[in-house]
Structure 1
Amino acid sequence: MTIKYTPEHEWLQIEADGTATVGITVHAQDALGDVVYVDLPAVGATFKPHDVAGVVESVKAAADVYMPVTGEITEVNEALCDDPSLANTDPLGAGWFFKVKLANPSELDALLDKTAYDDLVKNA
């Protein structure tokens, strides 16, 4: 299992079948505070990197969730819609946002590994 990160604080867990699960990082949910609402993309929607794929709202602010790669949404986390606080309590697990079928796996090379992401956050 490979995990990649974006400078905009999304994470991707890459699966062997060419799909990726996407969510927001611990840093992002810490910065947002208590998440109260999420707007997720429609299954079947296609996106390019940096397209806005969703919105997360907290008691402090609203933030866009950006698509890290080109692909088609194959699943959304309905449990997150019912209980947005999952983005706070388990951002790297049960608080995932959506799954995407990768159209161009080479785009993953442009994303950050854990060490590079940790350095980005530490120097922010």
Structure 2
Amino acid sequence: MSKLDQAIDDSILEASEADLREDFKEAGDDFDKAVSRASRALEQAKARTARMRFKRAQDESKAYREQENVKSFDLAKARRRLDGMRSGEVENAMMAARKGGKLSQRDEENLLKDLAQLEALENDDKEEGEE
């Protein structure tokens, strides 16, 4: 930006509302309409940038999920492990009592996900030990 452009910008930014109203009146323009147009343009720009940021975040999230280092979990295997824990067939496994009752469907689903993640971590540890 040239010094002249900067000086013009500064003079506009430093001008009082009364001065701006007078300048617009002399130019035959309506100050309130100009302010309204500028406000609409600003709001549209904000909305456009928000949509762009949201789209970028969606794209980044999708790219992250599609990376090869993201492992899928074997929920069927986790289910077998949970069933084994319940029946006492799995060694070195303990389950805490939950308010003296059964697990809710949601609790069971979350437990399965946790077991699947644990299995994946255990497999990673085994693979790293082989290297």
Q: TM-score, length-normalised on structure 1? A: 0.22
Of structures 1 and 2, the one scoring higher in RCO (CA 8 A, sep 6+) is 1
Q: TM-score, length-normalised on structure 2? A: 0.21
Question: Per residue, is there more helix in 1 or in 2?
Answer: 2
Question: Per residue, is there more strand in 1 or in 2?
Answer: 1
Please tell me whether Structure 1 or Structure 2 has the larger radius of gyration of its CA atoms: 2
